[in-house]
């Protein structure tokens, strides 16, 4: 149980285009989803937290107009990188939790984005 | 503010040898502690977690961790390492609504 998927696993795009990444909880309802960014050989940096049906809460320094997050259902959240630039190239990982202080975050396999 | 320190950036052990990965935390209340493992190019897999109760926690793949409040530590151990254990290991503190990760320890296993 507690499986989280991400799609696509790899994406290459041209500078200036927008890219959408999907995160799905396959066997549980995720009241909260998280988006992380990971640079090579570094730890995970939380970008934003989203609750189903609410606006996402962004961490300090993360541009909310650049990284659009939608959590329209209890099993799906999307991250759209708008007008992507080479510096946005990174590994993006989502996680999902069914809520409750003692619940666990379950992570997706990640999406590697390369902006040319 | 909560924080996690993993003092060892890189550890190399021989297959069959024992392993201990260190994790120290700073947290204002009773900590919820986690260990995750990440294989190259993959997401994170939960190895084990501590919320309360027995301070020795058993996880998957033969891993265990011990919570020591007096030392603010939550070290990960495995009695006999397998080559497939080579990966990046992350310690984390917090709750389901906010996790803070350490910088990770890369484990290399020699045959």
A51 DSSP β-pair partners: A32
pLDDT the model gives residue B98:
82
The pLDDT, as a whole number, for residue A42 is 82
Interface contact flag, A43 B45, Cβ < 8 Å: no
Counting residues of chain A whose pLDDT is more than 70, the rounded percentage is 97
**What's the pLDDT at A100?**
65
Question: Do B46 and A6 make contact, defined as CB atoms within 8 angstroms?
Answer: no
The candidate with the shortest Cα–Cα distance to B41, out of A24, A55, A109, is A109
Q: Closest by alpha carbon to B24, among B67, B53, B61, B78?
A: B67
Q: What is the pLDDT of residue B40?
A: 84
Other CB atoms within a 10 A radius of the CB of residue B53 amount to 8
B/e letters for A76-100, b = 16+ CB within 10 Å, e = fewer, are: bbbbebeebeeebbbbbbbbbbbbe
Mean local confidence (pLDDT), B8-16: 96
Helix, strand, or coil (residue B1)? coil
Sign of the torsion formed by the C-alpha atoms of B25, B15, B9 and A41: negative
**Average pLDDT value for chain A:** 91
| 13-32 of B, contacting A, C-beta below 8 A | 32
Residue B49: predicted pLDDT: 92
pLDDT at A10 over 70: yes
pLDDT above 70 (res A88): yes
CA–CA distance, B23 with B45 (Å, rounded to integer)? 17
pLDDT confidence bin for A39, thresholds 50/70/90: confident
The residue ranking higher by pLDDT, B91 or A40, is B91
Q: Please identify among residues 73-92 of chain A the ones whose CB lies closer than 8 Å to any CB of chain B.
A: 91
Beta bridge partners of B3: B26
pLDDT mean across residues, chain B: 92
C-beta of residue A8 within 8 angstroms of C-beta of residue A23: no
- Span B78-110, pLDDT tens digits: 999 999 999 999 999 987 678 899 999 999 999
Query: Which one, of B57, B30, B41, B44, lies nearest residue B102 by Cα?
Result: B44
Q: For strands A44-51 and B3-5, give the pairing.
A: unpaired
Beta strands in A3-110 (DSSP E): 4-7, 10-13, 19-25, 32-38, 44-51, 57-58, 67-73, 76-81, 90-97, 106-107
pLDDT of residue B28: 76
* pLDDT given at position B78: 98
B42 has pLDDT over 90: no
pLDDT confidence of residue A36: 95
Identify the pLDDT of residue A101: 60
Say if residue A46's pLDDT is above 90. yes
pLDDT digits (tens, 9 = 90+) for B50-89: 988 889 999 999 999 999 999 999 999 999 999 999 999 9
Is A93 an 8 Å CB contact of chain B? Answer: yes
- Residue where the block lists tokens 């503010």: B1
pLDDT over 90 at A21, yes or no? yes
pLDDT at B81: 97
A107 touches chain B (CB under 8 A): yes
Neighbours of B24 (CB within 10 A): 18
Question: A99: which residues sit within 8 A by CB, 6+ positions away?
Answer: A31, A32, B96
Q: Could you tell me where the DSSP H helices lie in chain B?
A: none
Average pLDDT for B11-23: 97
Report d(CA A1, CA A45) in Å as an integer.
25
């Amino acid at each position: 149980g507690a499986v989280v998927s991400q799609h696509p696993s790899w994406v290459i795009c041209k500078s200036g285009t927008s890219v959408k990444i999907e995160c799905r909880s396959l066997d549980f309802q995720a009241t909260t989803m998280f988006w992380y960014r990971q640079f090579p050989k570094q730890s995970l940096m939380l970008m934003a937290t989203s609750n189903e049906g609410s606006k996402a809460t962004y961490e300090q320094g993360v541009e909310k107009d650049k990284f659009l997050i939608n959590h329209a259902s209890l099993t799906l959240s999307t991250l759209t990188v708008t007008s992507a630039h080479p510096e946005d190239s990174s590994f993006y990982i989502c996680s999902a939790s069914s809520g409750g202080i003692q619940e666990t975050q379950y992570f997706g396999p990640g999406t590697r984005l390369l902006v040319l | 503010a909560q924080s996690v320190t993993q003092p060892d950036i890189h550890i190399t052990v021989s297959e069959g040898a024992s392993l201990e990965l260190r994790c120290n935390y700073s947290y204002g209340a009773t900590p919820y502690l986690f260990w995750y493992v990440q294989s190259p190019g993959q997401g994170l897999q939960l190895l084990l977690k501590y919320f309360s109760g027995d301070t020795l926690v058993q996880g998957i793949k033969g891993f265990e961790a011990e919570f020591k409040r007096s030392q603010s530590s939550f070290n990960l151990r495995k009695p006999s390492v397998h080559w497939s254990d080579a990966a990046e290991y992350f310690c984390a503190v917090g709750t389901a609504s906010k996790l803070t990760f350490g910088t990770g320890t890369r484990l290399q296993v020699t045959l």
